[in-house]
Amino acid sequence: MDLIESIFKLKDHKTSFKKEILAGLATFLTMAYIMVVNPAILSETGMDFDSVFVATILASFVACLLMGFLANWPVALAPGMGLNAFFTYAVVFGMGFTWQQALAAVLCSGILFLIISISPLRAYLINAIPKSLKFGIGAGIGLFLAIIGLKNAGIVVDNPATLVGLGDLKSAPVLLALLTLVLMIALDKLKIDDVVGAIPAHLVCGIWGTLAVPLTNSGVSFGSQVLGVVSIGAFVIVTSAIVWLVIKAVIGLRASEEDELAGLDKSELGMEAYPEFTNA
């Protein structure tokens, strides 16, 4: 424990080993979806899913280690959702490059970013960007990912006249997507954080997939599938309730509104996660 304290200076940052373990676990659970989503998007270009899956894990592992041991900064790093979508849909599908050529461009950009990061040019570039544009970049990436999700759900489709058209709102994928969206809004109103819609998506798709089995398999009864849904649902609800109660008793399920406005890095650790952005 003394070795950990000497490396990370936990007391100086007003934190503890227990708090950091819980925070790390919570961060991992929040980011773990990228291990599957990143290779799922990149594999559309022809890249091997398993290879990208391993590369995503290794890249995140090495990046988090460097951030922890070299910078001693409480920020987890992993491949970004916006960039993998840009790589697949803009560079490969839109511009017509192969994924090998696109990866070569990623290597070149990585080298340039490394040069910029170790030189004063980084601070000059960040301070030169207006604050409104900094906030707009995040909103733009969110809208870009939103249109990809709407397209994959079938809510919007390609239209030669207007570029984007409304899909068949009576189709099963669209109805499932809309139901998931409604459940996400309901969970938010109940103050249950589920920013990626994992709970309603798995709930709707899982129940539908289980109940639909008798439609294609005469050896399975509808009653047994309903019993399976109820049994699994009861187990998940009880187990989740126990885990949530433990988390609530130890670290709390939700930060206060004051801490959310100030930022958890500022309220808990007394530091800004991105001082260049907040002080510009």
Question: Does residue 207 lie in a domain region?
Answer: yes
Domain count, the chain: 1
Question: Does residue 154 lie in a domain region?
Answer: no
Q: How confident is the model at residue 280 (pLDDT cuts 50, 70, 90)?
A: very low
Question: Does residue 177 lie in a domain region?
Answer: no
Q: Which runs of E-coded beta strand occur in 135-248?
A: 156-159, 163-166
262 and 269 Cβ atoms separated by less than 8 Å: no
Question: Does residue 187 lie in a domain region?
Answer: no
Amino acid found at 82:
G
Give the largest CA-CA distance in the chain.
68
Question: Does residue 216 lie in a domain region?
Answer: yes
120 and 140 Cβ atoms separated by less than 8 Å: no
Question: Does residue 161 lie in a domain region?
Answer: no
Question: Does residue 139 lie in a domain region?
Answer: no
- The residue range of the domain holding 32 is 2-124+197-278
Torsion 10-13-18-21 (CA) sign: negative
Six token digits for residue 259 = 């801490």
Six token digits for residue 44 = 């559309």
- pLDDT tens-place string over residues 174-217: 887 888 788 878 887 887 766 566 777 777 778 878 888 888 88
Question: Does residue 247 lie in a domain region?
Answer: yes
pTM exceeding the 0.85 threshold for the entire prediction: no
- pLDDT tens-place string over residues 219-262: 889 899 999 989 988 998 899 889 888 877 776 666 666 766 66
